[in-house]
Amino acid sequence: MNAVIVAIAVMLILSLLRINVVLSLVVGAFVGGLTSGMSIEATVESFTEGLGAGATIALSYGLLGGFAIAIAKTGIPELMITGMLNILNGESNRKGLVKVLIFFLIFMMSILSQNLIPIHIAFIPLLIPPILKILNMLEVDRRLVATLIAVGLIGTYSFVPAGFGAIFQDIVATQVTEAGMEVSSRDVPVAMAIPLLGMLIGLIIAFVVYRKPRYYKRNDIETEALNVNVSKYVMFSTALALVVSLCAQVLTDSMIVGSFAGIMIMYFTGALKWKEADDILSEGMKMMAFIGFVMIAANGFAAVINATGHVDSLITSAITILKGNRSLAVFIMLVIGLVVTMGIGSSFATVPIIATLFVPLAQGLGMSPLAILCLIGTAGALGDAGSPASDSTLGPTAGLNVDGQHHHIWDTCVPTFIFINIPLILFGWIACVFFL
């Protein structure tokens, strides 16, 4: 039995049974390691060594959470909510307008968080919790919001060549080139255009499926307009902090440096008081702690998966059975990419693994460079939406579950898997066959 399939199956089944994701990852890793024939000592060693790779990510998200809370403390998010509540409380027939404004705002922030304001998922705990008050009043199904955010994140980095998109596309092109096929990162958006269309169609279907009202307890919800006064100086200081954070992150390629720079600018300009620093950072880190622990555990899981050596055998055995059927071979490779990414939880980390194995096989099948780029890019992105260990699912859950009414697996992972991964694998397959 292939250890990769066993490990991922155990992790997913435990997660679906509402077992804590961190515990599910640990159990899945050990089951996979032992199934492959590794000793318990070797499994523990591989898992432990892999944990270190997640420390940087965990610290990055902790500081990003602190930066998000720092901005929230200025009162600027409440200004946005005030306008929406005024519209909503004014006339009941304006509910549709408010829904459109909220969906547009969330989708645009999901897109901009990947490039223009590259704070990734840190915008979610900043933006979503205040909006929950309005979403509950409008009886919006939060599963739709989770899908909307995931499409904005994944669709942007897989198609737009800026910010995180530039990083992802450069990884794809570099790994494909190193595996033996000379390509350019400029061709990745062309290759990913049809898969992106699939994600957008899936999002439209999600709007139809989740159009019915869903009722949530209105805990501490104020239906009256908020009275918030934010000075122009505070607005300027916050905008300056965002710009400095963006520049620092771009120049150093470090989310840690970027978020730290943004926080310090807010303190130095007086937008936030120094005496509030400890409480704000603690609150932000606490908010993002779950994501950090999952990411650390996911890196240990990925290390064990790689150590088993069964990823290679999984791919080669599947392709051998196909006997040169290119269309079916493409579909099988996409499914394998889905399985691997679901387990690792990161499309960025999955690409180097699958490129080394997929590119020689694709070349042997006579696939064009554009088809290979589409194959690797889509296979890497697949699973990012539905994986319990992905920041594209952990982020939405962190924002939507602040009142304990949104389940990570059933309300985020399952809907995003259905409405993003399934269309993505279908349209990715169509695109690869088209580019053959």
223 has a pLDDT exceeding 50: no
Which range, 12-26, 47-61, 205-219, 334-348, has the best average confidence (pLDDT)? 205-219
Q: Which of 432, 335, 312 is nearest to 383 (CA)?
A: 335
Residue 372 to residue 302: CA distance in whole angstroms: 24
User: What's the N-to-C CA distance of the chain in angstroms?
Assistant: 32
User: DSSP H helical segments within 141-231, as ranges?
Assistant: 142-159, 164-178, 188-209
Lowest mean pLDDT among 9-13, 122-126, 316-320: 316-320
Which range, 55-64, 300-309, 368-377, has the best average confidence (pLDDT)? 368-377
Helix (H, G, I), strand (E, B) or coil at 87: helix
411 has a pLDDT exceeding 90: yes
Eight-class DSSP state of 295: H
63 has a pLDDT exceeding 70: yes
Contact 397, 146 (CB under 8 A): yes
Residue 311 to residue 183: CA distance in whole angstroms: 24
Eight-class DSSP state of 384: T
The pLDDT score that the predictor gives to residue 247 is 82
70 has a pLDDT exceeding 90: no
Lowest mean pLDDT among 147-151, 177-181, 198-202, 414-418: 177-181
Dmax (CA) for the chain in angstroms is: 69
Contact 272, 366 (CB under 8 A): no
Contact 33, 46 (CB under 8 A): yes
The pLDDT score that the predictor gives to residue 366 is 85
Q: Region 353-378: what's the mean pLDDT?
A: 85
| Signed CA dihedral, 28, 32, 33, 34: sign only | positive
Q: Region 143-169: what's the mean pLDDT?
A: 91
User: DSSP H helical segments within 253-325, as ranges?
Assistant: 255-268, 277-308, 310-322
| Signed CA dihedral, 377, 383, 385, 388: sign only | negative
Contact 378, 192 (CB under 8 A): yes
Which range, 20-24, 237-241, 352-356, 430-434, has the best average confidence (pLDDT)? 430-434
Q: Region 364-382: what's the mean pLDDT?
A: 90
Q: Region 263-269: what's the mean pLDDT?
A: 85
- What region, left, alpha or beta, does residue 107 occupy, with left being phi > 0 and alpha being psi -120 to 50 degrees? alpha
Residue 314 to residue 312: CA distance in whole angstroms: 5
Residue 116 to residue 243: CA distance in whole angstroms: 10
Listed in sequence order, the residues at least 6 apart from 87 whose beta carbon sits closer than 8 Å to its beta carbon are 94, 97, 98, 101
The pLDDT mean for the chain works out to: 82
CB neighbours (10 Å) of residue 227? Answer: 7
Q: Region 51-77: what's the mean pLDDT?
A: 72
**What's the one-letter identity of residue 12?**
L
Q: Region 290-297: what's the mean pLDDT?
A: 73
80 has a pLDDT exceeding 70: no
Listed in sequence order, the residues at least 6 apart from 407 whose beta carbon sits closer than 8 Å to its beta carbon are 18, 401
325 has a pLDDT exceeding 70: yes
The pLDDT score that the predictor gives to residue 229 is 64
CA distances 333 to 314, 358, 380, 431, Å, are 10, 7, 11, 14
Q: Which of 81, 88, 79, 87 is nearest to 139 (CA)?
A: 88
Q: Region 193-212: what's the mean pLDDT?
A: 96
Lowest mean pLDDT among 107-116, 312-321, 375-384, 414-423: 312-321
The pLDDT score that the predictor gives to residue 233 is 81
Residue 307 to residue 134: CA distance in whole angstroms: 48
Question: pLDDT, tens digit, for every residue of 225-261?
Answer: 445 566 778 778 888 887 887 788 778 767 778 878 8
